[in-house]
Amino acid sequence: MTMLARLSRLSDRTWVVLFSLAALLARLPYLALIPYFEDETLETVIALKVWPGGQLIAVGWDNYIGPLFHYLLALLFGTLGPDPALPRVVVAVFGALTVGATYALARVLGLGKFAGVIAALLMLTNPPHILINSHIAWSNCAASLFTTLLLLTLALAVKHSQPRWLLASGVLAGVSMQFHPVSILIIIGAVVWFIGDREARKYLRTRWPYLAAILAIVCYSNVIVSNLQSGLYGVAEAQSRSYIWQLSPSLEVYLQNLGRLILQLLRAIAGELSDVETWQALIGWPLIYAAWLVAGVIYAGRSRLMLRMPLWIVGALIVFMPLVSNHYGTLITTRLTNQFLPLMFVVMGAVAAAIIDWTRRQTVLRTAYYVVVTAVVIGAVFPLVPLFNYYQQRVEQGRTNAEFFPFVETLEKQANGAPIYLSTTVGELRLGGSGNVNYVLDIMLSLAQTPHAVLPPAQILENLIAQPGRALLALHDKDLDLLRQFIPFQRVPTPVDEATSKRGYGLYEVSADARVTKPDFVFAPTSSALQPQHIISANFEGRLELWGYDLASTTVHPGDQIRLTVYWRALQPMDFVYTGFAQVIGSINPATNNPLWGQDDHELGRGLYRTLIWRPGEIIVEAYTLSIDAAASIGSYQLVVGAYDPNLVRLKQFDPNGAPLDDKMILSDVSVTR
């Protein structure tokens, strides 16, 4: 008995299990390391709201995506413990199960075992599906499992005349939409096929398709209701993303999108990992896979089997997606179209099996039979070679997540109860398409339930001034010169210093006895070094005192600048970050339809010492530069100063008896001359 004969005796269930296990093995290498962590970490943030946060959520990170993925992550965090790699393990398992479902779909559509094996092998070894949909923990990466199962149950209902399977199809339709609304394209194609297929459409006279539609809506109802309550915020959110949403394109743009989509699909089935978006990139191996797909489409179109289902569904993708999206061309963008891979691989498996079967039955072509079998198997397995070459190249270039695990481990060990601050500028260090270093550090510390704060460098300084003592800081290299003016700190060695230094960040420690210096524009209440030119002592609601100001000149020309120094005194601790404003006002400015002819608004404390940490009696010196509108006419204007809270509510002056006056202080008249 030949090996093929032995394999053919395995049951379909055995094949599904074997392919799922083999696919998982193919997806585990470099799972947590490659590619870089993307903004998938934000999905984990939502999961942490459920566990350990205890919140109930109706939508995911994006308001057009459901929370099923986040609830699953929360459940696993609660049972298995929080681990940064766990979300990627989940999508790897989903990706592996998609391979088993691909084999099952091929069989239910009427193909033989060998065709199913080829389809599943192509799916098992496909680099974009492995690297993107089975490695990156976005909820949309898991959608392919549920859309494949949706089509499987739909085919079962028709093939075995068991319309009750349509109820499962309805549930899976709603569930797949929970993971990403691009699944609607598969649902549209499936509905069109169902209506057009002679065997399927007879069930339109029964209650089952309509019950399935109701179940689909119910299973997606949380997202629908949430968006109705928020004024369709999810739709607005999707439309705001111009890199994805492109409604009502011109014919020229539509055809351009169509060409880019087709090119992306052809590159994806060939396992292309580069971001080179040209038709010339198909020359070589990719062209063979493209020809293989075309042959499969022709074969499926002429088949009397249920093989036309994949054609209807991929056709819906090709027709409708270019109408609303121009999101093509890179490896990352395949995440939305990779859920159509099982359908394309099914028709490729069908035509390959048909050719092999034909050569097997030709006595004079017995050698060709073995050649074709070998070529098909090589073609199905070959994509693993460039995939592992890609892995090796990334490792050699240091473009992996390897640095983050020991960095965070060192940070946690060194902290020992000390506050941890991550500078927001570390977030400027991008990883891949949409991730950054701060996303990774933040989510790893959050999963470990290690208290920390992500703050701008100036607010880190504020916290250390308000609460001096030992602290650990993750800083961008460009933070160092700013903070060293006020804080003594030293670098903490980590096992990955070479990698972090190359990227441009590091771990630093402020010692327990470090003396934090306040900025040089902050003066003690008893300071004798200050003497404003003009003393006012205007009281703003008992919070701030405008003690005085310096003004070099009250005569300017259009387009000139006024340089003003204001002396503020804190009267009491404050709960808001106040913004100070200085304005030149006069008659209505026709360009702005308000009386402003010059203005300078900025947070009090120059971004380094905000009002939250001002101590009563301290004097803070603020500098303002007001550019006079070049269209200002000759005449007299007023220079005014005041402050407002984050809600743009201005503080009012109080008179000596505590009665409110104006919400600004007139400092001086200003003359504009030619």
- pLDDT value at residue 2: 58
Asked whether the beta carbons of 135 and 92 are under 8 A apart, the reply is yes
In-domain check, residue 290: yes
Residue finishing a domain among 510, 536, 564: 510
Which is more confidently placed, 528 or 88?
88
- pLDDT value at residue 491: 97
Q: Are residues 271 and 157 in the same domain?
A: yes
> In total, how many domains does the chain have?
3
- pLDDT value at residue 253: 92
In-domain check, residue 399: no
Report the pLDDT averaged over residues 654-666: 90
Report the pLDDT averaged over residues 507-513: 96
Task: Kindly tell me if the per-residue pLDDT of 418 is higher than 70.
Answer: yes
Q: In the numeric block, which tokens belong to residue 70?
A: 């986040």
Q: What's CA 606's distance to the chain center, in Å?
A: 32
- pLDDT value at residue 365: 67
Work out the percent of the chain whose per-residue pLDDT is above 90: 79
Q: Are residues 490 and 539 in the same domain?
A: no
Q: In the numeric block, which tokens belong to residue 485?
A: 């003016």
Name the β-bridge partners of 274.
none
Q: Identify the top-confidence range among 5-14, 249-258, 521-530.
A: 249-258
Cα 450 to Cα 464: distance, rounded to the nearest angstrom:
19
The closest of 415, 411, 414, 441 to 426, measured between CA atoms, is 441
Cα 459 to Cα 577: distance, rounded to the nearest angstrom:
11
Report the pLDDT averaged over residues 66-74: 94
Segment 87-104, tens digit of pLDDT: 999 999 999 999 999 999
Name the β-bridge partners of 453.
421
Cα 141 to Cα 134: distance, rounded to the nearest angstrom:
7
Q: Are residues 81 and 230 in the same domain?
A: yes
Structural domain containing residue 542: 522-672
Task: Kindly tell me if the per-residue pLDDT of 657 is higher than 90.
Answer: no
Which is more confidently placed, 658 or 34?
34
Q: Are residues 293 and 314 in the same domain?
A: yes
Task: Kindly tell me if the per-residue pLDDT of 395 is higher than 60.
Answer: yes
Which is more confidently placed, 7 or 203?
203
Q: Which residue has the tokens 């990170």?
A: 61
Task: Kindly tell me if the per-residue pLDDT of 363 is higher than 90.
Answer: no
Q: Are residues 538 and 493 in the same domain?
A: no
Phi then psi for residue 208, to 5 deg, are -65, -45
How far is the CA of 271 from the CAs of 163, 226, 282, 334, 380, in angstroms? Answer: 37, 38, 11, 11, 10
**CA 434, 438, 443, 444 torsion-angle sign:** positive
Asked whether the beta carbons of 402 and 33 are under 8 A apart, the reply is yes
200 contact partners, CB below 8 Å, separation of at least 6 = 157, 158, 193, 194
Q: What is the DSSP string of 327-357?
A: --SSTGGGGGTGGGHHHHHHHHHHHHHHHHH
Task: Kindly tell me if the per-residue pLDDT of 571 is higher than 90.
Answer: yes
Q: Are residues 485 and 534 in the same domain?
A: no
In-domain check, residue 515: no
In-domain check, residue 397: no
Report the pLDDT averaged over residues 72-78: 93
422 φ/ψ sector (left φ>0, alpha ψ -120 to 50, else beta): beta
Report the pLDDT averaged over residues 483-489: 94
First to last CA, the chain: 104
Report the pLDDT averaged over residues 149-166: 96
Residue finishing a domain among 510, 539, 569: 510
Q: What is the DSSP string of 481-499?
A: HHHHTT---EEPP-TTHHH
Phi then psi for residue 289, to 5 deg, are -65, -35
Q: In the numeric block, which tokens belong to residue 73?
A: 């992550």
Element (H, E) at 239: helix 233-239
Residue 494 neighbours by CB distance under 10 Å: 20
Report the pLDDT averaged over residues 214-233: 93
Asked whether the beta carbons of 34 and 85 are under 8 A apart, the reply is no
pTM of the model: 0.86
- pLDDT value at residue 238: 80
Residue finishing a domain among 370, 392, 414: 392
Phi then psi for residue 596, to 5 deg, are -80, 130
Number of H helices, E strands in the chain: 24, 18
Q: Are residues 381 and 450 in the same domain?
A: no
Q: 258 in helix, strand or coil?
A: helix
Q: 644 in helix, strand or coil?
A: strand
Task: Kindly tell me if the per-residue pLDDT of 1 is higher than 50.
Answer: no
In-domain check, residue 490: yes
Report the pLDDT averaged over residues 348-353: 95
Q: Are residues 504 and 528 in the same domain?
A: no
Cα 77 to Cα 528: distance, rounded to the nearest angstrom:
59
- pLDDT value at residue 529: 80
Q: Per-residue confidence at 5, pLDDT binned at 50, 70, 90?
A: low
Task: Kindly tell me if the per-residue pLDDT of 52 is higher than 90.
Answer: no
Indicate which CATH number applies to the domain containing 593: 2.60.40.2550
Asked whether the beta carbons of 545 and 569 are under 8 A apart, the reply is yes
- pLDDT value at residue 635: 95
In-domain check, residue 398: no
Strand 653-654 to 534-540 pairing: antiparallel
Asked whether the beta carbons of 532 and 567 are under 8 A apart, the reply is yes
Tell me the pLDDT of the chain averaged across its residues.
93
For helices 86-108 and 341-361, angle between their N-to-C axes, nearest 10 degrees: 40
In-domain check, residue 517: no
Q: Are residues 413 and 375 in the same domain?
A: no
- From 36-45, 175-184, 622-631, the region with the lowest mean pLDDT: 36-45
- pLDDT value at residue 4: 60
- pLDDT value at residue 108: 96
Q: 123 in helix, strand or coil?
A: helix
The b/e string for 571-580 (b: 16+ C-beta within 10 A; e otherwise) is beebebebbb
Report the pLDDT averaged over residues 330-340: 92
**CA 301, 104, 142, 214 torsion-angle sign:** positive
Q: Are residues 262 and 309 in the same domain?
A: yes
- pLDDT value at residue 281: 85
Report the pLDDT averaged over residues 412-438: 93
Cα 473 to Cα 452: distance, rounded to the nearest angstrom:
10
Helices (H), 337-436: 341-361, 366-381, 384-397, 404-415
Report the pLDDT averaged over residues 513-520: 92
Dihedral angle of Cα 313, 319, 325, 330, to the nearest 10 degrees: 70
Q: What is the 3-state secondary structure (H, E, C) of 63-105?
A: CCCCCHHHHHHHHHHHHHCCCCCHHHHHHHHHHHHHHHHHHHH
Burial of 186 by CB count in 10 Å (0-12 exposed, 13-18 middle, 19+ buried)?
Answer: buried
Sheet holding 471-476, edge to edge: 453-455, 420-423, 471-476, 505-510, 490-491
Asked whether the beta carbons of 435 and 420 are under 8 A apart, the reply is no
Q: Are residues 360 and 445 in the same domain?
A: no
Q: Are residues 528 and 645 in the same domain?
A: yes
In-domain check, residue 458: yes
Report the pLDDT averaged over residues 133-139: 96
Q: Which residue has the tokens 């053919």?
A: 8
Name the β-bridge partners of 569.
545, 619
